[in-house]
Amino acid sequence: MLAFNLFAILVLFQPVISIDVTQEEGQSNLFGIAIVHEKTQPHIPTMVGNVMKKVMANANGISIKEYYIQYDHEFAPFGEDEQFCAAMFEGVSVLLDTTWIDSRYLASAAEEFGIPYFHIDLSVQTYVKLLESFLLARGGNDVVYILPNYQDADATIYLLITDSYLRAIVFGELDGDTVDRIKDLRPYPSFYAVIAGTMEMNTILQKAIDGGLVRKPEKWNLLFTDLQTDKYTLGDDFPQMNRLVLDSNTCCILLQQRFPCICPDPFDPMDAHLQNVLERIVQWFIKDPIPLVRASNCTPESQQQELLEHAIAAQTKLMNEIAAMAEFWITPESGMLRPNLNLSIISQPTNQNTTSAAAQPPPATTIGNVAKGQIVLVKNESLQPSKRFFRVGTTESIPWAYRKRDPNGNILRNSTTGEPIWEGYCIDFLHQLSVVMNFDYDLVSPRNGTFGLRDADGKWDGLVGDLVVGEIDFAIASLKMTAEREEVVDFVAPYFEQTGILIAMRKPVRETSLFKFMTVLRLEVWLSILLAIVATAVMLWLLDKFSPYSAKNNKDAYPYECRKFTLKESFWFALTSFTPQGGGEAPKALSGRTLVAAYWLFVVLMLATFTANLAAFLTVERMQTPVQSLEQLSRQSRIKYTVVKDSDTHDYFRNMKNAEDVLYQMWRNLTLSSGNDQAQYRVWDYPIKEQYINILSAIESASPVATAAEGFRRVNERLDADFAFIHDSAEIRYEISRNCNFTEVGEVFAEQPYGIAVQQGSHLQDELSYFILELQKERYFESLTAKFWNNSARSQCPNTDDSEGITLESLGGVFIATLVGLALAMITLLGEVIYYRRKETSRNFIKVAPFGNADKPMARDGKRIALKQKSIAAVKHLLDLDTPAKALRGATTTVKINTKKEKPIPKEITIGNKFVSAAEKQQKLSYIAIMPRNAIH
């Protein structure tokens, strides 16, 4: 088919010729037209009648007889229809088919009777055909048509059945029930197409918006069947919608006028098309008259075969002429006469780039035309390609997929769609897949269940159940590949490393106490040590006091200065002996030394015991977990443990328990058999440990949790580390990377891969597997794993490794005791200073003037005193304690010394100009000398 650029076509004016036919002998001017229409087209007779009046106004000399036949689809063959037989009895020259159904019955009947047959489209099918060309150019493969009434819907459905390349679903009216049905369509349609007039278009779109259908405006394609598009009210709100509107030159083409022309208001393209067809047929009849074909009892007459062959040849010639005219469009598939409707494509231009993601989208503009099924675009413009759309199932599982929440725990929703906002490993992975595979998607949560469980009737719920019934296209979540699931769905290549089951526990909380070193020994031991120190000190004081061989009682043996073991010194000796500093000088008596030797032995043993117990105590404190494997966990009863109810982990322990039960039954039947060959299997005890039976029993007794979050919460609440949570290893390690309190126990067991699940036989399986392998080559999954399993947060956790050493919390009391000792020392110093000053203040001091100033008497209160006599008197007073001090204070001119009790000056005191030492005669007195000096300052 040739492609016409209707912008470049100039339609020449062709005046309608007034025809006057002169009737010759044997020739008739009667023209009989049989017009066939649908039951749902009651307007066709009126429409044809109005057009026929316009045609007959310019066709003089002929008379046209019209026969209207209402076609019944259920009645066949058409040649036996009563209305058709009545028309054939009167005589028919041309059969004009205006139905939208398959024309084979009508065409075969016309051929049988030798009547020229023309199939003309006056329905919505031409619009549908043009819109389909536009959707195919966008790469679409499925579409939902929305029509304003059921009559147009029927015509559209029949066209799609006979001549369409799209998978399509058609709806005649848009109401609440229709909106719900469109929402439930699976798979999700790639395009929506609405064909209606402008006012009907506004109504349909408003209902679609209110019903929540317009979630992706770029998927909506609107075709307007009139020229009143200026009354379209939603163009500014949804510029992403693609619009096909009748171009202004369409009116000129159909009216056979030059461009530009003035279109009448209102203008119906189908009326103009019908008029063009009838004019061409009438002109053809005038140029080459067609005889009337009559038949009685609907039986064709054989003598008219030559004339009929001439009529068929003339029909073929006319069809070729019509095909070359600009106002017609004849598709080679059907031979139907369609109007040449030139549609302008109004969409957002693709050659404009916004500078920012937040910038407003560009307004819609004309980017091309659609004419005769061909797309002609403006230079540098292109149609936005179609994106496939999938419904992707997922369910919450941290960190794979989870709904985003605010600090209060409320689910955050998209402001436009109202749907929850999802995050996680699988969500990022899905977004990357949508980029490399070029598709759009909606996230769907299962209505019942989570991942998928099979009930007693064999029905599945969760993601697996949604895949089985076709609710979703594929499922992406932490879905493990199991044999049961592979019976009903298919899995693609694994996207994550092997995962399995792991045990999570809380690290034991250390009791923080600054005086924890004191708890190494019990209180009664500390009291016994204190009592031993007191008893030793008292015994040491008594032995030194009463022993005749002590340094105190045996001065002849010890003439030099020795340590006196008073009660205070004895306590100090006992206390210092308890330290590596030592007690100092030991007693001299044998009894005292025996006591000290026994006490020292006690001190050595006690210090060694304290040191050993302190080291053991601090070592035990740093132990993190009391169990190191699943086997150890199953053999103890102090630590409780559980799993998520009905999870894959729960199923694993159930299956292992069932396997142990079956194996036990098989072993019992084998050993109890009466055959001789089974004797070698008979042992006293069952050779297989019933480990999983005990584990499942402990899990059921601890009540399985509903969600993984609840399981981690229960573990975190047990400060004594007496609860364990058995769950998926990837999720446990994710929680450990975020919570410093958790630690993993043992090794991973029951390893299985994660995979994307699709429907059995789905075409997506190979495509998804290919792109997953491509992403693996690009090391995409390694970066994604590093994003969610980021252990950098654990660098902020306190170090609890065995090589950490003793913490300050454990031995902080030692430093506090030292600080208390320092504080007591300072307090004692302060007390000593205060006591000394008070003692010195209470003593009497006599001021002695130097002899060098004796000749210079001092003046005080007008009185003079002889300093030399006063100094001598003061010295004598020191020797005589009975001399009152008042005599010195009250002396004025002369100093009178009390001579009540005179004592001679001892020889040890030298008063004079020569120093004589007195230490030779009296050892306790070093010397007392008053030396005269000439100048004393």
Contact call for residues 744 and 736 (beta carbons, < 8 A)? yes
Q: Give the single-character DSSP code of 745.
A: E
SS (H, E, C) 474-502: EECCCCECCHHHHCCEEECCCCCCCEEEE
Return the C-alpha torsion angle 827, 831, 837, 842, nearest 10.
Answer: 170
CA end-to-end span of the chain: 139
Distance of CA 192 to the CA centre of its chain: 31
Write the burial class of residue 542 (CB in 10 Å: 0-12 exposed, 13-18 middle, 19+ buried).
middle
Is 510 part of any known ligand binding site? no
Contact call for residues 549 and 594 (beta carbons, < 8 A)? no
CA nearest to 726, candidates 637, 623, 661, 645 = 645
CA nearest to 731, candidates 756, 709, 716 = 709
Is 728 part of any known ligand binding site? yes
Amino acid letter, 771: F
Which sign does the torsion angle of CA 719, 724, 728, 729 carry?
Answer: positive
Contact call for residues 156 and 146 (beta carbons, < 8 A)? no
User: Cα dist. 48→68, 86, 194 in Å?
Assistant: 10, 20, 28
Contact call for residues 235 and 268 (beta carbons, < 8 A)? no
User: Cα dist. 748→501, 630, 866 in Å?
Assistant: 6, 10, 110
Angle at 883 between CA 881 and CA 886, to 5 degrees: 125
For residue 31, how many C-alpha atoms fall within 13 Å in the half-sphere facing its CB?
25
Is 175 part of any known ligand binding site? no
Long-range contacts of 245-248 (CB under 8 A, 24+ apart): 245/343, 245/344, 245/346, 246/341, 246/342, 246/343, 246/344, 247/6, 247/342, 247/343, 247/344, 247/369
CB neighbours of residue 426 within 10 Å: 28
Structure tokens at 262: 């003035």
Beta bridge partners, 395, equal: none
Long-range contacts of 695-699 (CB under 8 A, 24+ apart): 695/630, 695/633, 695/634, 695/653, 695/657, 696/653, 696/654, 696/656, 696/657, 698/634, 698/640, 698/641, 699/641, 699/642, 699/643, 699/650, 699/653, 699/726
Rounded to 5 degrees, what are φ and ψ at 273? Answer: -65, -45
Distance of CA 744 to the CA centre of its chain: 24
- Cα–Cα distance between 777 and 786 in angstroms, integer? 16
Distance of CA 462 to the CA centre of its chain: 20
Binding-site residue set: 485, 649, 728
Annotated binding site for L-glutamate: 485, 649, 728
